[in-house]
Amino acid sequence: MLYISYDQSAADDYREVSQGQEVNTYYIPGGCRALGPGRMNYFFKFAGPSYSIDTACSSGLAAIEADTAVAGSVNVLANPDNFAGLCNGHFLTEGHNACKTWDTAADGDCQTNKIRSVVIKRLEDAEADNDNILGVILGAGTNHSAEGVSITHPHAGHQAYLARQVLRQAGVDPLDVSYVELHGTGTQAGDFEEMQGIMDVYAPLTKRRTKDQPPHIGAIKANVGHGESVAGTTALIKVLLMLQKNAIPPHVGIKTEINPTFPKDFDKRNLHIPFEITTWLWVGRVDFLDRLIKSGIGFEELKQNAILLITAGSETTATLLAGAVYLPTSHPEVLKKLTAQVRTMFKDESEIALTSVNRFNYMLAVLNECLRCYPPLPLGAPRIVPRGGTNIAGYTIPGSLVGSVTQWVVYHDPTIFADPNRFELERFTQPGVGKYANDRLDALNPFLVGPRNCIG
């Protein structure tokens, strides 16, 4: 799938300039935005759908909402009419530098030519293909500043609401975020509203951050100007480079002093604007198991916790654990992802509860497939055949017999589960799709009642 994003002003410049010249064969294919993605598909021999997207400055980020895609953003400035209109509307800076983001003299943005592209794939597909994974998008969203007084005045409340919505979708605590990239166009009103919204979410006064938990903020437009439709993709690529370098670059937009309308309690909120290269000490969540070990918990304590876990669930839980250890360790890619999810989704052991673990779809898929491959109970629930007997699958069963169906037989029946002898998480991560679309997931009932009233 191929997405190319355009900005309205940029996409029409070439066509408008060409109108005053000789209109030749290439006027339509070169100026029609709908044909841009098709041209890329033709060149790279991509056979999937192609889309052109125009949502102004957010085009590049809007284009990444796909399962697998090359999301490209293009901004080419070729016509002076657009500059004249923006100047008359007081959108553009009068200086020679890029956007003076967060500066007291910020007077507008600086337009630039840019081309950016990123490859977006499902994480499972990227891992299976052994791709070089630069980052993982946990959540995405968009809204509109409905209560803003004009296009140059975004609404802090709406921006804060969207940030909280995306964080909830991703399962991330705002206080665990160590860097936020802002839009930062370099306007007095826009910068103020955005800064207020960011502070309310990531550095609130109601929930204080500790000194070792500082969020840093930055804005790439201070370095390279406003790429319009390419702005979002440029910011995304900047953060990916920061992850690679494990460093936060200095903010260069403040040339004189910080915007005086900004809140004065940066230090109180522990919110940092980096003015020199800063080592990014907190790239992800703390591994709480590592922290427990480093805090002095010994091997015997870990062993006792493991023993308690195994004996509490009696035979069935122990049998499940045997399969749940063997199968993931036999599939390193599964073990790696499962370990990362379990060890980084909790800040400490107190967060581990029945409700919280049931949000981990990948972990649940691993457990369900382990239960299917190695069901912990040898027999199903017993049933008494009615006195008159019955017929099951063409077989006559005499009355008053007690019978049951073994779970192993059910779970390894190819008419119920496709390719039943393979350990395949796709059955549960993508139910109803692809090779395993017809799997009878409702047939999976591995826990019933064990010899010690199995806790299930």
CATH of the domain at 316: 1.10.630.10
Q: Are 75 and 114 in contact (CB under 8 A)?
A: yes
Which residues, at least 6 apart from 436, have a Cβ–Cβ distance to it below 8 Å? Answer: 417, 418, 419, 424, 426, 427, 430
Q: Is the pTM of this model over 0.85?
A: no
Over the stretch 334-351, which tens digit does the pLDDT of each residue have? 888 888 777 777 766 777
**Together in a domain, 313 and 365:** yes
Domain membership of residue 194 (yes or no) is: yes
- Least confident segment among 96-100, 175-179, 215-219, 324-328: 96-100
Domain membership of residue 342 (yes or no) is: yes
What is the mean pLDDT of the segment spanning 318-326?
76
What is the mean pLDDT of the segment spanning 163-192?
88
2 pLDDT exceeds 60? no
Q: Is 99 annotated as a binding residue?
A: no
**Together in a domain, 132 and 225:** yes
**Together in a domain, 236 and 91:** yes
Tokens, residue 427: 């059955």
170 pLDDT exceeds 60? yes
What is the mean pLDDT of the segment spanning 440-448?
79
**Together in a domain, 263 and 319:** no
**Together in a domain, 253 and 149:** yes
What is the mean pLDDT of the segment spanning 163-182?
88
pLDDT at 97: 67
- Boundary-marking domain end, from 279, 314, 333: 279
**Together in a domain, 298 and 217:** no
pLDDT at 112: 86
Per the rule left: phi > 0, alpha: psi between -120 and 50, beta: everything else, 314 is left
Over the stretch 384-403, which tens digit does the pLDDT of each residue have? 888 888 888 788 888 888 88
- Boundary-marking domain end, from 279, 300, 324: 279
Say how far apart CA 428 and CA 369 lie, in whole Å.
8
- Least confident segment among 159-163, 206-210, 312-316, 432-436: 312-316
**Together in a domain, 261 and 319:** no
383 pLDDT exceeds 90? no
pLDDT above 90 coverage of the chain, percent:
12
pLDDT at 326: 86
Which residues, at least 6 apart from 220, have a Cβ–Cβ distance to it below 8 Å? Answer: 181, 184, 234, 235, 238
CATH value at residue 103: 3.40.47.10
Domain membership of residue 255 (yes or no) is: yes
What is the mean pLDDT of the segment spanning 262-266?
89
**Together in a domain, 114 and 227:** yes
291 pLDDT exceeds 50? yes
- DSSP letter for each residue of 315-327: HHHHHHHHHHHHH
423 pLDDT exceeds 60? yes
What is the mean pLDDT of the segment spanning 207-219?
83
Which residues, at least 6 apart from 2, have a Cβ–Cβ distance to it below 8 Å? Answer: 37, 40, 41, 46, 48, 49, 50, 51, 69, 70, 72
**Together in a domain, 346 and 272:** no
**Together in a domain, 93 and 232:** yes
**Together in a domain, 308 and 263:** no
What is the mean pLDDT of the segment spanning 204-218?
83
pLDDT class for 453, splitting at 50, 70, 90? very low
**Together in a domain, 300 and 250:** no
Over the stretch 349-369, which tens digit does the pLDDT of each residue have? 777 777 777 767 788 889 899
pLDDT at 250: 93
Domain membership of residue 60 (yes or no) is: no
What is the mean pLDDT of the segment spanning 422-441?
88
415 pLDDT exceeds 90? yes
pLDDT at 284: 45
Domain membership of residue 330 (yes or no) is: yes
Residue 390, domain extent = 292-443
- Boundary-marking domain end, from 279, 301, 330: 279
pLDDT at 331: 92
Domain membership of residue 43 (yes or no) is: no
The total domain count for the chain is: 2
Q: Are 2 and 41 in contact (CB under 8 A)?
A: yes
pLDDT at 179: 92
Over the stretch 34-65, which tens digit does the pLDDT of each residue have? 667 777 777 877 756 667 777 766 666 666 55
pLDDT above 70 coverage of the chain, percent:
74
Say how far apart CA 227 and CA 236 lie, in whole Å.
13
419 pLDDT exceeds 90? yes
Domain membership of residue 58 (yes or no) is: no
